[in-house]
Amino acid sequence: MVSLKPNAILLKNQAACAQCDGHVILKPKQVAGIGTQVQEFFSKLFNTNDWPPRWHCGNWTDFHGWLYIVSDLLIWASYFAIPLLLLQIVLKRKNIPFTKIFWLFIAFILLCGLTHFLDAVIFWWPAYRLSALLRFVTGIVSVVTVAGLYKNLPLINNLRTIAELEVEIEERKKAEQEACNQQLLQQHTKELMQKKDEFMSIASHELKTPITSVKASLQVVKRLVSTNKSLAPVSPFVEKASNQVNRLTGIINELLDVTKIQAGKLELAETEFLLNDLINECIESCLIDNQKHQVVVAGNKKISIYADRNRIEQVICNLLTNDVKYSPANPQIIILVEGLENQRAKVSVTDQGIGIPEDKIEEVFDRFFRVENTSQSFSGLGLGLYISSEIIKRHQGKIGVCSKLGEGSTFWFTI
């Protein structure tokens, strides 16, 4: 084998060393101050005169020396290739996370590789000062890399794996599809509702004319019956027909109101009036044929408010007729009137009727909503509370309900 080991000739600097069986022992140096040492270190950074090449320092066999050198060069080559690959990743993928850590790793691995390279070179070129400086820089970069890694550890730990990301993408796709379907469904429902509103508007307008005519004719008949005694047996039938026509008028008016609300055409004619007077009128008109239920009005009787009298009457009458309708067994109804700040008032109407199940309370003000089971035995369209809530909202007021199934309900509004 051809030996690349330099011949065992004494180099220039070895004049200062004593050689002992191949071991080079440095002569003790004169101790200088630290400042002088640093200055000398940097000024002689590439100067190799103070040491023999590593081949001459110790007793290396060819095999041992080359094993050391080849291993160091292999490590250096790999440590050089890894940063190149990392560099390619960093430059190619602009939005890569933790770019700083990548750069630190590139520097750290490159420097580590260089220390190994220099370790191999030192077998011929004993640049121990350069080697020390390189190791120091490597040490500093290593510490900074450790600190950077430690700082980013929680974030790195939170990074999702490709499998996790794939699951997330799949879930997102599903959610998007569902949202899309939901949107289509909503659009479809909206169109259907629009068609229904159009139909309701046309139907209620068309019904209103003949009903008005029937109402007028019934009034003429009523007058005839009251003036002609021979027609007295017909009177109850005329009364019944008149009541049913009134009910029909009420239903048509509700449908018309809904179409007005939907079209944003619910207009208000506001005036100032005494709330108590209006409540008394409502009680009179709503309970005209009702001997069973009793209404007690409590609270402040002198509150006057500024609102659309007819529309507020509609709200109070709706609450009262509901109380009567949904409290067949308990006749007591209480209306409480309270004054609020800024000339506002709160009206609460309490009954001891069938009450509303807790999970349905939120929905009672929705259009066409009726509580199943309980309200099946009572007639209605499920529009009264919807219209009332829209009227109160137009007055910038609030409407709500407290209710317990089987115990009764308190509907209230502020205005």
In the complex, least distance from residue 336 CB atom to ligand ADP, rounded to whole angstroms: 15
DSSP secondary structure code for residue 405 in this structure: T
DSSP secondary structure code for residue 365 in this structure: T
Range 241-270, binding ligand ADP (CB under 6 A): none
Report the DSSP pairing between strands 294-299 and 332-340.
parallel
> How many angstroms separate the CA atoms of 258 and 261, rounded?
5
Per CB under 6 A, which region of 104-112, 264-272, 286-294, 317-325 contacts ligand ADP?
317-325
Is 375 a binding residue for ligand ADP by CB under 6 A? The answer is yes
In the complex, least distance from residue 379 CB atom to ligand ADP, rounded to whole angstroms: 7
Question: Which of residues 208 and 325 has its CB atom nearest to ligand ADP in the complex?
Answer: 325
Is 128 a binding residue for ligand ADP by CB under 6 A? The answer is no
Number of residues forming the site for ligand ADP (CB under 6 A): 23
Query: What residues have CB less than 8 Å from 344, skipping those under 6 apart?
Result: 305, 397, 414, 415
**How many other C-beta atoms lie within 10 A of the C-beta of residue 110?**
19
Is 400 a binding residue for ligand ADP by CB under 6 A? The answer is no
Question: Which of residues 152 and 374 has its CB atom nearest to ligand ADP in the complex?
Answer: 374
Is 413 a binding residue for ligand ADP by CB under 6 A? The answer is no
In the complex, least distance from residue 222 CB atom to ligand ADP, rounded to whole angstroms: 28
Question: Which of residues 225 and 354 has its CB atom nearest to ligand ADP in the complex?
Answer: 354
Is 317 a binding residue for ligand ADP by CB under 6 A? The answer is no
Q: What is the dihedral angle through the alpha carbons of 204, 206, 207, 211, rounded to the nearest 10 degrees?
A: 130
Report the DSSP pairing between strands 17-20 and 344-351.
unpaired
From 26, 127, 381, 402, residue interacting with ligand ADP (rule: CB under 6 A): 381
Q: Cβ distance 370 to 386 under 8 Å? A: no
Determine phi and psi for 21, rounding to 5 degrees: 50, 40
Report the DSSP pairing between strands 294-299 and 398-404.
unpaired
Residues in touch with ligand ADP (CB under 6 A): 318, 322-323, 326, 351, 353-356, 364, 369-371, 374-375, 380-386, 409
